[in-house]
Amino acid sequence: MAITQAAVDKARKSWQEAANRHDMNGLAAVYCENAVVVPLAAPTIHGRKGVEHFFAEALRDVSGMRVTKSECQPISPEMMEEVGEYEFDDNGAHKQHVKGKYVAIYKMEGGTCRFQTHIWNRDPTVH
């Protein structure tokens, strides 16, 4: 099955909604079984179970996660690259509004569009 912009939009929306609900099962389900996540200042994560474990901690104090801009480019009939920007509120010890950028590679897996590779960074915090 070929990947479409609509499938990528649906996967991104599912990720965002699961992150904002702190639903780690739902969030991990949007990743391929052999996904690779390269988080900011942390070891590389491999596989859906690793993704679930990582985000349980990483998103603990996060609210209002949203993508503010994204551009997609097909890589192959089954894969698409997305480059975008995001923002959220960090409600932890150092409350702040965070903005950053990300790159995601989506892949069709079992007829569903999922994250295959996901990497991001943060913009510098202005005080």
| Domain CATH for 53 | 3.10.450.50
In this prediction the pTM is 0.92
Question: Does some domain include residue 127?
Answer: no
Question: Does some domain include residue 38?
Answer: yes
Question: Does some domain include residue 95?
Answer: yes
pLDDT of residue 1: 84
Dihedrals phi, psi of 95, to nearest 5 degrees:
-55, 130
Question: Does some domain include residue 114?
Answer: yes
pLDDT tens track for 66-125: 999 999 999 999 999 999 999 999 999 889 999 999 999 999 999 999 999 999 999 987
| Structural domain that includes position 66 | 5-122
What is the count of structural domains for the chain? 1
Supply angle C-alpha 118, 58, 56, rounded to 5. Answer: 100
Question: Does some domain include residue 71?
Answer: yes
Residue 52 confidence class, pLDDT cut points 50, 70, 90 = very high
Question: Does some domain include residue 86?
Answer: yes
**CA–CA distance from 19 to each of 67, 76, 79 (Å)?**
12, 28, 23
pLDDT of residue 94: 86
Question: Does some domain include residue 14?
Answer: yes
